[in-house]
Structure 1
Amino acid sequence: MTYKLIILCGLVLLATLFISACSASKPKNLGIKNGKFATCPKSPNCVSSQAIDDEHKVAPLKAHGDIEIVMKTLAESIEQMSGAKVVQREGPYLHAEFTSSIMKFVDDLECFYEEDKSEIQIRSASRIGYSDFSANRNRIKKMRIIFEKIQ
């Protein structure tokens, strides 16, 4: 019986290490190309203000003002959220990573400020898995509340 328990624990440890290794890899499809984010996959673990289907669609954030001030405010809003780390902020583009507290899964949040439209386009996606139990959609809701309070 002890032998089986040791094997089971070993398998759980290997699975955890594998998941951590996968979630640590930064996706190659991040960034803006011709004003657009990468399209969300068919899985429900991604939301985007540029999506055309209801399952993945979220509204962009409303914003106004100088690009530097808006992006600084956006970064401050994100950093108030649990597990958040802004990893890139360059001009109108921001990339942040959100790490879950227990399993250490990483999700990527991208924001792109379109000053002429007074909107911040957003995309939040899980790096691994299929379902995220609406974690990315809820993250955008929370970020919207924080951003609107301090803007």
Structure 2
Amino acid sequence: MNKLTQVVFTSFILLTGCAVKAPNLGVENGQLTQCPDKPNCVNSFSNNEKHYIKPIIINGKRLEIKKDIVDIVNQLKNSKVTVTENNYVRAEFTSKVFGFVDDVEFYFPETKSKGTSIHIRSGSRVGYSDFNVNRERIETIRLKFEKLNLSGSESM
């Protein structure tokens, strides 16, 4: 590949990553939007093993848990919370190098059980593979949340 082709190709990738608008996400019929048929997304509502990730289930009040999730997301690098509603939070994570955006959603449905379920979706806006970045990000958030929750319950 000659240099001009490399420059054009690299520029195209960079501009594509920056130009993609936020997808139409959210909660519909009590579930988060399903993942596309690409290995760059995880979803706790998925029936597909490659996309499935366990929801976070924790004891506590939904509003306090939502606040903790927002705090954790805000502490992570290259993150921005874009939507906070009564039972829903959406955030964007932007990659350093190419500026690609991943959308992360947290849904807190009403339940009659003592525990609060946090359903999760994390997916790349562009590309095919994410090298497991979305799954690892959610597991990092899960660990931080569990540590925060343990330290909070010990101080009570």
TM range (shorter): 0.7 to 0.9
Instruction: Mark the runs of 5 or more structure 1 residues left unpaired by the alignment.
Output: none
Q: How many residues in Structure 1 have an aligned counterpart in Structure 2?
A: 145
Shift of residue 42, structure 1, vs aligned partner: 1.2
Distance 1:13 1:41 in 2: 25
Match of 2:119 in 1: 121
Match of 1:79 in 2: 74
- Root-mean-square deviation (CA), in Å? 1.7
Distance 1:112 1:52 in 2: 17
- The runs of 4+ residues in structure 1 deviating greater than 6 Å are none
Match of 1:141 in 2: 139
1:103-146 deviation per Cα after TM superposition (whole angstroms, max 9, x unaligned): 11100001011352521000001000111010110011100001
Q: Could you tell me the percent identity over the aligned residues?
A: 37
Match of 1:132 in 2: 130
> In structure 2, do the counterparts of structure 1 residues 60 and 17 end up closer, same or farther at CA, with 3 Å as the change threshold?
same
Distance 2:121 2:5 in 1: 40
Distance 1:74 1:46 in 2: 19
**2:17, 2:101 within 8 Å by CA — same for their partners in 1?**
no
- TM norm structure 2: 0.85
Match of 2:148 in 1: 150
Matched, 1:26 2:9: no
- TM norm structure 1: 0.88
> In structure 2, do the counterparts of structure 1 residues 15 and 40 end up closer, same or farther at CA, with 3 Å as the change threshold?
closer
